[in-house]
Amino acid sequence: MKKLVIAGLVLTATSISASPFEKPTDAIEYRQSAFSMIATNFGDMAEMVKGRKDWDQQQFSQRAQFISQLSLMPEEAFAVEGTDKGDTKAKPEIWSDWDGFTAKLNKFQGDMANLAKVSMDGDERATKRAFGEAAKNCKSCHSDYKYR
């Protein structure tokens, strides 16, 4: 019985780690969808930071929580073979400089987790500072790894 339970756990772990993408185009669409949702939420926060929209700490924090979770999604879709071709604005440098790209992606994820945490404290000034740090990293990654 014990061996059966262990075998079941191994099969479950294996199926969870398997890629959900059947084709490279599926992975491209997935990461583009994640980035689109990130951009929508980030844009709303930017409007508040720039004063073009009334500051709403609760709404800002909710957007930051969403982005923190969404930031974890795209990496696996970049790792799929063949996703460097097709309908994508991803530069080849992502794959030729994988370590540099993943370092920036990891920093982005950390920045978003920090922004989510800071925004929950309700300190507008600290939230805006954390947003600014996150925005700098976004711009840096786009400059290096994304066609406009």
Tokens of 89: 């604005």
Is there a contact between 105 and 146 (Cβ–Cβ < 8 Å)? no
pLDDT of 138 reads 84
Tokens of 54: 């009334």
CB atoms inside a 10 Å sphere around CB 115? 29
Whether residue 4 lies inside any domain: the answer is no
Residue stretches of the annotated binding site: 138, 141-142
Q: Around 51, how many Cα atoms within 13 Å sit in the side-chain half-sphere? A: 0
List % helix, strand, coil for the chain (3-state, nearest 5): 75, 0, 25
Q: Per-residue pLDDT tens for 90-113?
A: 999 999 999 999 999 999 999 999
Is there a contact between 104 and 64 (Cβ–Cβ < 8 Å)? no
pLDDT at 46 over 50: yes
Residue stretches of the annotated binding site for heme c: 138, 141-142
Whether residue 5 lies inside any domain: the answer is no
pLDDT at 36 over 50: yes
Q: How many domains does the chain have?
A: 1
Residue 92 is part of a domain; what is its CATH number? 1.20.120.10
